[in-house]
Structure 1
Amino acid sequence: MAVENSKVLIIVNNWGIEETELTRPLRDLKAAGAKVTLAATTLDPCETVQHDRYEGETLTPDARLSDVQAADYDLLVVPGGTCNVDRIRVNEDAITLAQEFAHEGKPIAAICHGAWLLVNAGLVAGKTAAPCRYIAADIENAGGHYVDEQLHVDDANGFKLITSRKPDDLDYFVGAIKDALK
């Protein structure tokens, strides 16, 4: 598989997504030739924020979380944004999607608070992850190991987990996603 032949699913809530953690992977992967689907809780516009508090760009989702299936995609991306992930981590469709990607051995990329979804999905036990420091205790309490690194890629437990801490790490994060699709 090559990046230009890959299908990537990005999942979000419709509000509170950290702008660059959504727009950089979305646009960079599309520019590299990947078919990228943005799935949200509803088909309402997705309102992003900058630094969890300033208004950001608004994007239109392609599908609802309830209408997509892991079997149709090669890789899952979970952007951060505290409010975004606080809501999707309790969304049954988002939890099921993450579990299906992991059980099918497909890569999951989560940046910043994005790994919170994986905690609720029961997917971090035995994994090492580098999310934002604010959820380090959540990772550890769920049986994972937290590291403070720009990028960490973990292949344990049958699926590749790509994690990064924050927007400053996006070059590494998007690069690792592209590498996982090659």
Structure 2
Amino acid sequence: MPISTANVLIITQNWGIEETEMTRPLRELREAGAAVTLAALTADPVETVQHDRFEGETVTPDATYDAVSADDYDLLVVPGGTTNVDRLRVNPAAIALAQAFAKAGKPIAAICHGPWLLVNAGLLPGKTLTSCRYIAADLENAGGSHVDEQVHVDDANGWRLITSRKPDDLDAFIGAIKETLGE
């Protein structure tokens, strides 16, 4: 599939998202021709942070994630940010979305703390992935195998998982997403 026909969904809470882990995929995938929807918990502005501490950019979401369906998208992106994913991973609608993508054999891309959502969604047994070092034990306790790599792509269990560790890995992360989408 050419990237110009791809539909990508990015899901976040409304606060605490690591700025570049959301804004770079959002903008770079749009610039490459993909239709990208930013879905948040509510329709209120999404307030990002830098390094979990400093105020970042504010972005208006396109939808709420309880109002979107995996059926309408080709790939799911889960940005990091400690507070963002700590709340995202306990939200039933976010968990259901991740599960629906995996069940449909659609790729999921998660960076930094993003894979925490996959722990609560029960999607890690048999998967190899990377993340920030702070959640490595959580991923392994959930049945995944953690590796320390800039980007890791795993196709086990009938669906692709693209993961990266931190903002410094965004070039490789976005590159792997674009490659998966056919660029």
State the TM bucket, normalised to the shorter chain: over 0.9
User: 1:44-55 residue pairs with structure 2 within 5 A?
Assistant: 44-55=44-55
User: 1:92-131 residue pairs with structure 2 within 5 A?
Assistant: 92-131=92-131
Offset of residue 90 of structure 1: 0.3
Offset of residue 55 of structure 1: 0.2
Corresponding position of 2:67: 67
Unaligned runs of 5+ in 2: none
SS in 1 for 2:101: helix
SS in 2 for 1:114: coil
What letter matches 1:99 in structure 2? Q
Offset of residue 126 of structure 1: 0.6
Percent identity over the alignment is 73
Corresponding position of 2:17: 17
TM-score, L = length of structure 2: 0.99
Corresponding position of 2:153: 153
For each residue in 1:77-102, what CA deviation from the matched residue of structure 2 results, as whole angstroms up to 9, or x when unmatched? 00000000000000000000000000
Partners in 1 of 2:31 and 2:173 — Cα distance? 16
What letter matches 1:124 in structure 2? L
For each residue in 1:53-91, what CA deviation from the matched residue of structure 2 results, as whole angstroms up to 9, or x when unmatched? 000000000000110000000000000000000000000
Offset of residue 32 of structure 1: 0.2
User: 1:80-91 residue pairs with structure 2 within 5 A?
Assistant: 80-91=80-91
TM-score, L = length of structure 1: 1.00
Partners in 2 of 1:133 and 1:123 — Cα distance? 19
Corresponding position of 1:180: 180
What letter matches 2:24 in structure 1? R
- The number of equivalent residue pairs is 182
What letter matches 2:50 in structure 1? Q
Pairwise CA RMSD of aligned residues? 0.3
Unaligned runs of 5+ in 1: none
